[in-house]
Amino acid sequence: MNLAIFKTNHLGDNVVFLPVVQTLRRLRPTWRITLLTAPHVAELYQAAIAPENLLTVDPEHLKRAWRRPWELLGWTQRLRTRRFDACLVSYDQSSVAHALARITGGRTRVGAAGLRIRLRGTLTHEIARAADWSVAKWNWETARALVAHIDGAADWPAEPPPPDLAHLAPATVRQPRRIVVHAGSKSPMTRWPRAQFAALATRLARDHEVRWIDAPEIPGPLPAGTQACPSRTLGELVQVVAGASLLIGNNSGPMHIATAVGTPGVIISGPSARVWDPTWHAEKFQLLRTPGLACLPCDRALRAAPTCQNTVEPFACMHRWSVEAVEAACRRALAT
């Protein structure tokens, strides 16, 4: 079996997808699996996918490849030479990814139903998300459908296991009084203000070791009393999170790393849809959501809200959380 998987997007999305790839490799060791993913997350898959089968492309660049026909032709030719028997297309892929699956893939093309993309009819099997499925569960059931159609086997586990990140954080020891703060997020909609994070970090640094992960989308000085934390590579980021007693941040990629390695977290969840709540080790997380806001969650399972929907009190879901309230949540977490 020669399988292509399309998964080009952000860190958190790939962390919750990783169990699919790792389980396919474990249960179907003879399959040749080619994965098309983003360069900044390729390290996640290095233990499961052979280097020659790990192809990378910037997600936004691929999404707009239809504007550069010569590049689209290049990808088409490159993938066609691999002669795929089947394709697995993640729920969040662009029309270009779907087109490549249709043009270069085999007779079996499995992916998600109900997508908001321009191109239709590229899949042979579409899997709809059940109301109670997280994104991780949806990924899992889509892969189950692929395996069942290809070989009819019933050995696919009932639930997705936590992603195995041991190849990125070998023998990492959790430090009992170490707190890691990550104030970034891919969307401004899901960011608690950086100044609030900085004030919180300084308070906690009075009696804990606080390490600050720099996020390029929110530049600024290192908060007083904290230590800069190297995270130049994905491996470094995983090791930093795995070695902490508590992660404080937004609903973002580092949160999903923490769910994989079992690091407790205090997360200002804001507008994030509940399908992105931690799938693994959920009992170790405090998700701070503002009660009584009729607009929540403004994010939907398949689409993030482009702007804040609360015209009376914009970003109330994030800004109502005071430094004092988040500090109290952190100290409760540290006391357990």
C-alpha–C-alpha distance, residues 137 and 45, integer Å: 19
- Residue pLDDT tens, the chain, 336 long: 999 999 999 999 999 999 999 999 999 999 999 999 999 999 999 999 999 999 999 999 998 988 899 999 999 999 999 999 999 999 889 999 999 999 987 899 999 987 777 777 899 999 999 999 999 999 999 999 999 999 998 899 999 999 999 999 988 899 999 999 999 998 888 899 999 999 999 999 999 999 999 888 889 999 999 999 888 899 999 999 999 999 999 999 999 999 999 999 999 998 888 899 999 999 999 999 988 887 777 766 566 677 877 878 888 888 899 999 999 999 999 998
pLDDT at 304: 67
The distance between the two most distant Cα atoms of the chain, rounded to a whole number of Å, is 61
pLDDT at 137: 97
Amino acid, single-letter form, for residue 267 = I
C-alpha–C-alpha distance, residues 69 and 59, integer Å: 16
- Report residue 231 CA to chain centroid gap: 17
pLDDT at 232: 84
pLDDT at 301: 57
Please give the domain boundaries of the chain with CATH numbers for all domains: 2-151 (3.40.50.2000), 178-335 (3.40.50.2000)
Residue that has been written with the tokens 């995270």 in this structure: 231
Residue that has been written with the tokens 């015209």 in this structure: 311
- Transcribe 105-170 into DSSP letters: S-SEEEEESS---S--S--SEEEPPPTT--HHHHHHHHHHHHHHHHH----S-SSPPPP--TTTST
Q: Are 100 and 6 in contact (CB under 8 A)?
A: yes
pLDDT at 77: 94
pLDDT at 33: 98
